[in-house]
Amino acid sequence: MLEVSLLLLQEDPDDGVALGNVACHLMDSIFSGWLVGCYELVQPYMPGLLDRIDLAISRQDDFGSDFDLHMARLHKYRSLGA
């Protein structure tokens, strides 16, 4: 799913659902200890990806239902000062 989302973002860098899927994978990787591996996979494809995710969050884009399930985790992670 991550690889498919990365391909979709190559075609449309502002695809909200694809951004949400990548963000979900990144958040899962933070809590599962796989952040380095996930980030290494994502970074070569999408320079500036995290900035686009932050911008989409600030615009409250529609990420789809999968992303909604991760929002509480994202807020908790950010509240810890990350």
- Give the dihedral sign, CA 10/42/51/60: positive
Q: What is the pLDDT of residue 82?
A: 43
Q: What is the pLDDT of residue 12?
A: 86
Q: What is the pLDDT of residue 21?
A: 80
The CA distance from 74 to 34, in Å, is: 16
Q: Which of 51, 38, 30, 27 is nearest to 2 (CA)?
A: 38
pLDDT per residue over 25-79, tens digit each?
Answer: 777 776 666 656 666 777 776 667 777 777 766 666 555 555 555 555 555 555 5
- Reading the block at residue 20, the tokens are 């949400």
What is the pTM for the complete model shown? 0.55
Q: What is the pLDDT of residue 9?
A: 82
Cβ neighbors of 43 (< 8 A, separation 6 or more) are: 49
